[in-house]
């Protein structure tokens, strides 16, 4: 019986701790909770700004998706 080896990484978007298979190191992965995408990396080798860069990138993606899906004149009252 062979078992997979995992490491724990916090999702930079929602903050949940995730068990990630070691073979995914260096790859883009998707959080199963918030669907945020991020790079699987050894938490001991992460720079101090990488978390905030991921958060800002995700926020920008969400804003762009929201702007594309909002109907025009959403808040306009009929006269």
For residues 42 and 23, give the distance between their C-alpha atoms in angstroms, rounded to a whole number: 12
Residue 22 lies in a domain: yes
Residue 78 lies in a domain: no
CATH number (domain holding residue 45): 2.20.28
Domain carrying residue 54: 6-69
pTM above 0.75, yes or no: no
The mean pLDDT of 53-77, rounded to a whole number, is 72
For residues 66 and 71, give the distance between their C-alpha atoms in angstroms, rounded to a whole number: 10
Query: pLDDT tens for residues 19-39?
Result: 999 889 889 999 999 999 999
How many structural domains is the chain composed of? 1
34 CB contacts (<8 Å, ≥6 apart)? 11, 13, 14, 16
| Residue-averaged pLDDT of the chain | 79
Give the pLDDT confidence score for residue 71 in this predicted structure.
61
């Amino acid at each position: 019986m062979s078992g997979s080896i995992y490491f724990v990484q916090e999702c930079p978007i929602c903050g949940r701790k995730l068990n990630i298979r070691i073979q995914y190191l260096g790859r883009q992965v998707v959080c199963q909770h918030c669907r945020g995408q991020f790079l699987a990396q050894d938490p001991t080798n992460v720079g101090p700004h990488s978390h905030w860069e991921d958060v800002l990138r995700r926020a920008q993606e969400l804003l762009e998706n929201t702007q594309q899906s909002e109907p025009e004149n959403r808040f306009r009252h009929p006269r």
